[in-house]
Amino acid sequence: MPMTQWLRRAAFLVGGMLLLGGCEFTGLQSTLDPAGPIAQAQHDLLIWSYQLSWIVMIATFGVMAYVLIRFRRRRDDPDRIPAQFHGSAPLEIGLTIVPVLIVIAVAVPTVRTIFATETRVTPEAGDVIVNVTGYQWWWRFEYPELGVVTANELHIPAGRRVILNLDSADVLHSFWVPRLAGKRDLIPNQNNQLWIEAPDPGTYYGQCAELCLGAHAYMKFRVIAESDAEFEAWADSFQTVDSRAVQADPDVQQGYQLFATKGCTNCHTVQGYRDGSSVGTPDFPNLTNFGLRTTLAAGIVPNDRENLEAWLRDPQAVKPGNYMPALWQEDDPNADEEIAAIASYLLSLGAQSGPEAQASLGGSHGDR
């Protein structure tokens, strides 16, 4: 074999091995590492069909290899022709029955799994209901029974059924948390439903799985499963939002003012912004308790001061295609100070609504 051909084959083999080495079964978004009943049922069906196809493949290639070797042209008898015949009743009956059995073996569990995972369920006591709306390019999560609206981070109690009503505000999106459940599309006015249940507390990573133009690849989200107590404390924190806490810190106070004067309140809702009433409109990410979020811009970067200031300064540089405008000209002398102040204000949101903060304010949400 010439050297170049040998090299090409070696490169192909090594490259292939490296490529396969990149596949891992326990990745953050791996269907092969299921959690919860829906993903488990889908995983089991996948593995069953996979095992069955291995049996079919081994049998088919086995027969082929046997025939190739057994009836090959031999050097010591090049003119030998194997016995010629046409038709074989047992073979043809077998070749009809076996595939039918294989189809049944795949079809029965498939149909059973479809009914188990895709049937619309009726909410029962203990279920959590979330209205999920897909937007270009972020997620709105509304808990109608809890009075909570948030974005991009879906908090759920572990071990409880969560019913998701899926809708889109614009184009098709698809809700996909591979470890919890297969994809389900968000279609305007279609009212699709999906239910999930996370067995254990933890973070489950999700991604829009329907090409929705622009920043589709940046339309991530997280499902944060918590204990019942943690989940309830999180939901309660939305009921106890208190804007009085911003008065305490002058930097935060300045950011609080700028949040309105720079126009943020035209789009973004913050519950309790003014004397317990909220500002903003529903069709943009709700920033209530924003300081409790772990990520920014639909899961693109961690939610910290540095990333938040970079985002406020030039949103397009962080996530190309999004609808957030840059609010400062490049030569604006006040930009640095104002951006820092708004970041301080936003990061403070949520800190003031915990039980300790309530106690330090000397009141509860019921007193106004």
Window 217 to 256, contacts with ligand CUA (CB under 6 A): 219
CB of 150 to ligand CUA, least distance (A): 18
In order of 34, 167, 173, 295, 301, the CA distances from 220 in angstroms are: 19, 16, 11, 10, 11
Q: Is 90 helix (H, G, I), strand (E, B) or coil?
A: helix
Closer to ligand CUA by CB, 213 or 248: give it. Answer: 213
Tell whether residue 208 is a contact of ligand CUA (CB under 6 A): yes
Closer to ligand CUA by CB, 59 or 211: give it. Answer: 211
Closer to ligand CUA by CB, 181 or 219: give it. Answer: 219
Specify the stretch interacting with ligand CUA by CB under 6 A; choose among 40-48, 190-198, 203-211, 324-332: 203-211
Cα(269)–Cα(279) distance, rounded to whole angstroms? 5
Specify the stretch interacting with ligand CUA by CB under 6 A; choose among 47-55, 209-217, 234-242, 298-306: 209-217
Tell whether residue 212 is a contact of ligand CUA (CB under 6 A): yes
The amino acid at residue 14 is V
In order of 307, 313, 317, 335, the CA distances from 331 in angstroms are: 20, 12, 17, 8
Closer to ligand CUA by CB, 177 or 246: give it. Answer: 177
CB of 318 to ligand CUA, least distance (A): 18
Tell whether residue 216 is a contact of ligand CUA (CB under 6 A): yes
Size of the residue set binding ligand CUA (CB under 6 A): 9
Residues 6 or more apart whose CB falls under 8 angstroms from that of 278 comprise: 269, 270, 271, 272, 288
The amino acid at residue 71 is F
CB of 173 to ligand CUA, least distance (A): 3
Specify the stretch interacting with ligand CUA by CB under 6 A; choose among 83-91, 210-218, 231-239, 241-249: 210-218
Closer to ligand CUA by CB, 174 or 243: give it. Answer: 174
Cα(152)–Cα(296) distance, rounded to whole angstroms? 9
Q: Produce one character per residue of 110-146: b if its CB has 16 or more CB atoms within 10 Å, e if not.
A: eeebeeebeeeeeeeeeebbbebbbbbbbbbbbbeeb
Q: Which residue has the tokens 């209530």?
A: 288
CB 167 within 8 A of CB 142: no
CB of 330 to ligand CUA, least distance (A): 31
CB 349 within 8 A of CB 256: no
Tell whether residue 179 is a contact of ligand CUA (CB under 6 A): no
What values do phi and psi take at 202, rounded to 5? 155, 175
Tell whether residue 134 is a contact of ligand CUA (CB under 6 A): yes
Closer to ligand CUA by CB, 143 or 175: give it. Answer: 175
Q: Which of 142, 197, 210, 242 binds ligand CUA (CB under 6 A)?
A: 210
The burial class, CB within 10 Å (0-12 / 13-18 / 19+), for 159 is middle
Tell whether residue 184 is a contact of ligand CUA (CB under 6 A): no
Closer to ligand CUA by CB, 221 or 311: give it. Answer: 221
CB of 66 to ligand CUA, least distance (A): 49
CB of 219 to ligand CUA, least distance (A): 4
CB 211 within 8 A of CB 236: no
CB of 170 to ligand CUA, least distance (A): 9
Closer to ligand CUA by CB, 212 or 264: give it. Answer: 212
Closer to ligand CUA by CB, 197 or 210: give it. Answer: 210
**Tokens linked to 253:** 């106070």
CB atoms within 10 A of CB 219: 28
List residues near ligand CUA by CB under 6 A.
134, 137, 173, 208, 210-212, 216, 219
